[in-house]
Structure 1
Amino acid sequence: MSAPLNVGIVGTGIFARNKHLPTFQQHSDKFKPVACFNRTKSKADAFAVTAGIEESKVYADLDHLLQDDSVDVVDVMVPVQFNYETAKKSVEAGKPVILEKPIEANLEQAKKLVQLAESTELPVAIAENWLHLECVPIMKEKLAKIGPIAAFTYNSTGPFYPSSEYLATSWRKHPEHIGGFLSDGGVHQLALLTTLLGDIGSIAAFSNQLRKESGTNDIVFSSVKLRDSDVIGTFTYGSAFGATEKSVFLKVYGLNGSVTMNINARTCTTIKTMIGSTGEVEAEEETVEVKEQPFFGVEAEFENFYEAVSKKDKSIVKGSPRVAFHHLAIVAAFLESAAKEGTAIVVQQP
């Protein structure tokens, strides 16, 4: 059995404590936290105690962590405007790196990160866990049964939670990344949508800010067209509303039926398939429930990163910077279209 990868953790906040560290602990045959750094050292000290990291491996700056020869890979959870800078230093130190989404604060910096990743043989990954949901391969199987796809609607909406611990982080309250929560949370939905149906080519959107706590626009309603086909659809996102049920669903319409995916319950995904060429024939119906991983794809994204690093093959990475660039570029197109009163905008490519 191969030795686990020694992980240097950069950023020891909420997601590091609640999702990444438990994932490493559950997969101790693949990952071992050995060093950490946080801008607030007391937080790094506390994290090190929980993670079993030696006190001498709690670093006061990123450079010293990257100089540690015992660190094999770097796991980065910093405000996203520092993603490119951190990735560049990691690559220069010869260490594969995985960075939390969204890819960067703006498209200019995101393009630099794509170029960096494509200039090295080291795996550089964006940790987009929704690419790794258990429902993805099953949805693709069902979509193949409904004939040519014609249209879709994607809705992810929910109520506002002012006491959310994520809302309390300063870089989210005063976002430097475009779209604020539209990119912070919206890229999850866009990752799932595009991995199932393909890249989005153009967008017409309207967007508003409902809550001052969001820092910037926090809802978007849009019409979209896929890049490489005639498929059209709608995409709606926002968790800034008053009392309402949390809703996350995708309905895809084909010439021979439809598939509806509902992931309102984070523990499982419900997929309903209806097969029939018209409303005048009796439709064949099938409903399946897909159990998702406890951390909703985080486990699988790290297994994917481990495989890419172990095999020294960056092509294995599902959440490449080029893939993640597209998700942020869609958000940028939402905002540009909304600023131009719903004018159709072509989504940028890196």
Structure 2
Amino acid sequence: MSSSPLKVAIVGTGLFATATHLPTLQKLENVVPYSCYNRTKSKAEEFASKAGITKVYDSLEEVFQDKEVDVVDVLLPVQYNVEAVKLAVKYNKPICLEKPIAANLEQAKEIVQLDESSPTLPISILENWSYMNAIDILKNEVLPKIGDVISFTYRSTGAWNENNKYLTTSWRQNPQHIGGFLSDGGVHQLALLTGVLGAVDLISALTKQVRKASGDDDIVYSTVKMSSGVIGTFTYGSAFGATDKSSTFLIMGTNGSIEFDFSPSLPKKIIKYQTGDSAQAASAKQIIEVDSNDTSAAEFSNFFEAVAQKDKSLILTKPRLAYHHLSIVGAALESVKSGSFATVSSPVSSQ
């Protein structure tokens, strides 16, 4: 990292900025929250007071015009992400944006094009699940032990939480982003799935809206074909009645199987695996306890390192990758309309 602290302008000063972004930025080395902006200036001023920030802007463009600002951290309703990226390109200002990448695939594609036509400007989408340390363990340490991957079952389900403070935000209650909670929370799940098994090619899905407060369909059951040829199922939703929150990822191979249990109730996430090409050759199950890492700190550290090194290739969650995650949701919704498999548009390139 550079010796001089990077000055960060925080754009969007709502609940998540206060609860997660601000404390994360404050604990990172060589980073300092410098200024802020909100479409309602009084909210920005209130946030600034809490954060010890003295500079508050009157317009979004002022943020990017400020020569003192090194980096812009954007937490706007995602339909405004395109506007922010355009300003970042105009003023050559490194930018990170909260997920999902955009409200729809057209906007997301525009952000990818802006990113890839700006070869030196760091642009990162803050999909923090991409930084789970379990992904590296699963992909690089355990997956090679089970031979060729054949199939998977990914399931993350839970009860409706009416006390969720983020439900009160108007952009979630009246979503402009496709799929509402299916894209807002679903890209987290898809970051884990694709981080381990690669890009998705086809999906056939059924979705349903269980809660009016979701603003849109809030559960999805689907059958998936990966670009590698692996097949599986993807189930996601937290709009059910009373039930334990359960999150499991089962991977089946020609020489064994893996089960990753990352249910929130567990003190540590658990990877269980066994090897063998038949029931008769099955080994004893091996268990790996995975410590939960601070994925928000990890995603910011990754982005700020790219900024300090002036090397955008270091960024893990590039717009093209985030586009792929949103396009899986888009394909699922298209599948619901057509009643058949839908192709996931512009799959991410192999890393």
Q: TM-score range by the shorter chain?
A: over 0.9
Partner of 1:13: 14
- For residues 282 and 200 of structure 1, what CA distance do their matches in structure 2 show? 30
- For residues 207 and 287 of structure 1, what CA distance do their matches in structure 2 show? 34
Percentage identity across aligned positions? 52
Q: Which runs of 5+ in 2 are unaligned?
A: none
Partner of 1:86: 84
CA displacement at 1:162 relative to structure 2: 1.9
CA displacement at 1:118 relative to structure 2: 0.5
Contact 1:271 1:287 in 2 (8 A): yes
Q: Verify: 1:26 aligned to 2:32, yes or no.
A: no
CA displacement at 1:282 relative to structure 2: 3.8
Q: Which runs of 5+ in 1 are unaligned?
A: none
TM-score by length of 1: 0.96
Q: Secondary structure at the match of 1:327?
A: helix
Contact 1:91 1:97 in 2 (8 A): no
CA displacement at 1:205 relative to structure 2: 0.7
Listed one character per residue, the Cα deviations across residues 278-318 of structure 1 (whole Å, up to 9, x for unaligned) are 1112423211111112xx41110001001110111111111
The counterpart of 2:112, out of the listed 107, 111, 114, is 114
CA displacement at 1:276 relative to structure 2: 1.4
Partner of 1:183: 183
Partner of 2:174: 174
- For residues 260 and 282 of structure 1, what CA distance do their matches in structure 2 show? 15
Listed one character per residue, the Cα deviations across residues 243-301 of structure 1 (whole Å, up to 9, x for unaligned) are 011011100000111111111137632111111111112423211111112xx411100
* 2:31 aligned partner, one-letter code: F
- For residues 245 and 317 of structure 1, what CA distance do their matches in structure 2 show? 35
The counterpart of 2:342, out of the listed 336, 341, 345, is 345
Q: Secondary structure at the match of 1:144?
A: helix
Contact 1:207 1:218 in 2 (8 A): yes
- For residues 264 and 31 of structure 2, what CA distance do their matches in structure 1 show? 29
- For residues 30 and 328 of structure 1, what CA distance do their matches in structure 2 show? 32
* 1:233 aligned partner, one-letter code: G
Contact 2:246 2:264 in 1 (8 A): no
* 1:209 aligned partner, one-letter code: Q
- For residues 30 and 102 of structure 1, what CA distance do their matches in structure 2 show? 27
CA displacement at 1:159 relative to structure 2: 0.5
After the TM superposition, list the runs of 4 or more consecutive aligned residues in structure 1 that deviate by more than 4 angstroms: none
Change (3 A) 1:193 1:330: same
Partner of 1:142: 142
- For residues 126 and 177 of structure 1, what CA distance do their matches in structure 2 show? 15
Contact 2:203 2:335 in 1 (8 A): yes
Q: Secondary structure at the match of 2:168?
A: coil
- For residues 282 and 80 of structure 1, what CA distance do their matches in structure 2 show? 48
Partner of 2:161: 161
TM-score by length of 2: 0.95
- For residues 190 and 283 of structure 1, what CA distance do their matches in structure 2 show? 30
Partner of 1:95: 93
Written as runs of structure 1 = structure 2, the 5 A alignment for 1:269-280 is 269-280=269-280
Q: Secondary structure at the match of 1:25?
A: helix
CA RMSD of aligned residues (A): 1.2
Contact 1:304 1:318 in 2 (8 A): yes
Listed one character per residue, the Cα deviations across residues 4-63 of structure 1 (whole Å, up to 9, x for unaligned) are 210000001111111111111111x22101010011222211111121111xx1112111
How many correspondences in the alignment? 343
- For residues 242 and 47 of structure 1, what CA distance do their matches in structure 2 show? 36
- For residues 282 and 134 of structure 2, what CA distance do their matches in structure 1 show? 27
- For residues 58 and 295 of structure 2, what CA distance do their matches in structure 1 show? 31
Q: Secondary structure at the match of 1:84?
A: helix
Deviates more, 1:40-49 or 1:210-219: 40-49
- For residues 282 and 104 of structure 1, what CA distance do their matches in structure 2 show? 46
Contact 1:24 1:30 in 2 (8 A): no
Contact 1:270 1:289 in 2 (8 A): yes
- For residues 250 and 261 of structure 1, what CA distance do their matches in structure 2 show? 5
Q: Secondary structure at the match of 1:222?
A: strand
Q: Verify: 1:327 aligned to 2:328, yes or no.
A: no
- For residues 30 and 349 of structure 1, what CA distance do their matches in structure 2 show? 36
- For residues 277 and 299 of structure 1, what CA distance do their matches in structure 2 show? 40
Partner of 1:232: 231
* 1:315 aligned partner, one-letter code: S
Listed one character per residue, the Cα deviations across residues 155-199 of structure 1 (whole Å, up to 9, x for unaligned) are 011111122111110000000000000000000000110011010
Q: Secondary structure at the match of 1:166?
A: helix
Written as runs of structure 1 = structure 2, the 5 A alignment for 1:189-208 is 189-208=189-208
Contact 2:274 2:282 in 1 (8 A): no
Partner of 1:250: 249
